[in-house]
Amino acid sequence: MEKVRHPLGRVLIHLALMLFALYSILPFYWTAAQSFKTLKDANSRTPKFFFSPTWDNYRDLWLRAVPENGATIAYFVLLAIILLVALLLFAQYIPVRNGVIYAIATVGFGALLWAIPRLIEVSNFYDYFINTIIVTVGTVVVSISIGSLAGYALARYTGLAAVVILIGALAFRALPRLAFILPYYWIGVATGLLDTHLLVILTLVAVNQPFTIWMLRSFFMDIPRELEEAAMVDGCNRLTAFTRVIIPIMWPGIISTALFSLLLAYNEFLLVRLLTQTNWTLPVAISRFTGGEDPRHLTLAAASAVSATIPIVLVILFFQKNLVKGLAAGAVKG
């Protein structure tokens, strides 16, 4: 619709949007503030808007014991993270192939995650963080690999079988998950896979598969058939035409879908809670802080909430365009 021109109208529009933005981020601001307060400040009945910030909550959340040279190590780790993030953010300006830079960054993050527990005594929370990374990466890799094969096939094949699979997937996506998750427990006991990453990854892949194939299919539908037909005339078979011609131009769509898979895996609580006893991921670990007997649960919960949010905010900032594109594609195409 055409824009409001009246200055007063413009001011009111921005005012309304700002108020809504304030309401949207208020819980984030408040929790972040609480996480940097001492327990006394955090429990103050009159909110302390000005306080001397402390790292204690984060230290107690992540570390079991405080080493003597703790500050040096902390600076080193922080510096390494900033360098790696900067490398990723400015990848397009560096005159090296992007794939190489991403590979270096991945190896760098891996090395960092490997090195940290060898430098300092970390707490269980670090283990839960590592579990979350393993489960999330595993789920994304498996569900995107098998999902793009299926999504491509569903976009190109017009037989009745394809329609039946699509509608079946739609039905499964809509059903309350507990109906599958409770039997997973039985499967876990029967196969002895309870409390393993493998079971969590496989079940998360299954639960996310309907969404993944629908979304990937809608992206594959946009790619003209002539493209792979030309490749097949030039001597490719279906599979090589798919991997060499279709996948490279599908990257934006694949990244959008991967982002949603990532969020679904990272966010999952119910499934992980039922299928694990010790190998928790972050949502399950954090849920333990709500209403604990520990008087410090208030500030520790705040610190854990912020800790779990930062990685996801970084990922979202990095892939924001893909995310909005994916949301819009899902919306417009249904």
Partner 1 sequence: MNRSTFFRFAAPSIVIMTLLMLVPLLMAIWLGMHFMTYNNVRDPQFVGLRNYVDVLTDPRFWQSYRFTLVYMATVIPATIVVGFSIALLLDQVSGFARGVYLSIFLLPFIIVPIVGTLMYKQLFEPSGLFTWILRNFFHYKFRYNAFTVKALIVLYGIWYVSPFPMVTYFAGLQTLPQDLIEAASIDGASRWQKIRHIIIPHVSSLTIMILLISIMDAYRVFDSVFVLTELNPIYKADTIMTYTFQTAISVQRLGKANAMAVLTVVGVMIFLIPNLIQSYKQQIEER
Q: Restricting to residues 170-229, name those near partner 1 by CB under 8 A.
A: 170-180, 182-187, 189-190, 202-203, 205-207, 209-210, 213
CA dist 276 and 194 (Å) reads: 6
| Best CA proximity match to 170, nearest among 242, 218, 220, 225 | 218
Provide the minimum distance between the beta carbon of 118 and partner 1 in the complex, in angstroms, as a whole number. Answer: 28
Q: What is the CA radius of gyration of the chain?
A: 24
Provide the minimum distance between the beta carbon of 264 and partner 1 in the complex, in angstroms, as a whole number. Answer: 11
Nearer to partner 1, 85 or 187 (CB): 187
**3-state secondary structure (DSSP) of residue 43:** coil
The stretch among 61-69, 122-130, 247-255, 312-320 that binds partner 1 (CB under 8 A) is 312-320
CA dist 125 and 117 (Å) reads: 12
The stretch among 61-69, 108-116, 245-253, 298-306 that binds partner 1 (CB under 8 A) is 298-306
Nearer to partner 1, 68 or 158 (CB): 158
Count H helices and E strands in the chain, helices first. 16, 0
Could you give the dihedral angle defined by the CA atoms of residues 253, 258, 260 and 261, in that order, rounded to the nearest 10 degrees? 140
Provide the minimum distance between the beta carbon of 66 and partner 1 in the complex, in angstroms, as a whole number. Answer: 26
CA dist 256 and 259 (Å) reads: 5
Provide the minimum distance between the beta carbon of 117 and partner 1 in the complex, in angstroms, as a whole number. Answer: 23
324 is an interface residue for partner 1 by CB under 8 A: yes
Among 56, 108, 115, 156, binds partner 1 (CB under 8 A): 156
Nearer to partner 1, 52 or 158 (CB): 158
Please state the separation of Cα 45 from the chain's center in Å: 35
The stretch among 94-102, 104-112, 116-124, 322-330 that binds partner 1 (CB under 8 A) is 322-330
Which residue in this structure is represented by tokens 């008087």? Answer: 295
Among 73, 112, 134, 146, binds partner 1 (CB under 8 A): 146
Residues 43-72 touching partner 1, rule: CB under 8 A, are 43-47
Residues 247-286 touching partner 1, rule: CB under 8 A, are 263, 266-267, 269-270, 274, 282-283, 286
Q: DSSP of 197-246, one letter per residue?
A: HHHHHHHHHHHHHHHHHHHHHHHHHTS-HHHHHHHHHTT--HHHHIIIII
Contact 207, 139 (CB under 8 A): no
Query: For 326, how many CA atoms within 13 A lie in the half-sphere containing its CB?
Result: 25
The stretch among 83-91, 102-110, 247-255, 305-313 that binds partner 1 (CB under 8 A) is 305-313
The stretch among 61-69, 88-96, 114-122, 157-165 that binds partner 1 (CB under 8 A) is 157-165
* Token pair of 75 as six digits: 């600076």
| Best CA proximity match to 301, nearest among 287, 284, 281 | 287
Provide the minimum distance between the beta carbon of 315 and partner 1 in the complex, in angstroms, as a whole number. Answer: 9
238 is an interface residue for partner 1 by CB under 8 A: yes
CA dist 155 and 223 (Å) reads: 10
Size of the site for partner 1 (CB under 8 A): 104
Nearer to partner 1, 118 or 225 (CB): 225
Residues 11-30 touching partner 1, rule: CB under 8 A, are 13-14, 16-17, 20-21, 23-28, 30
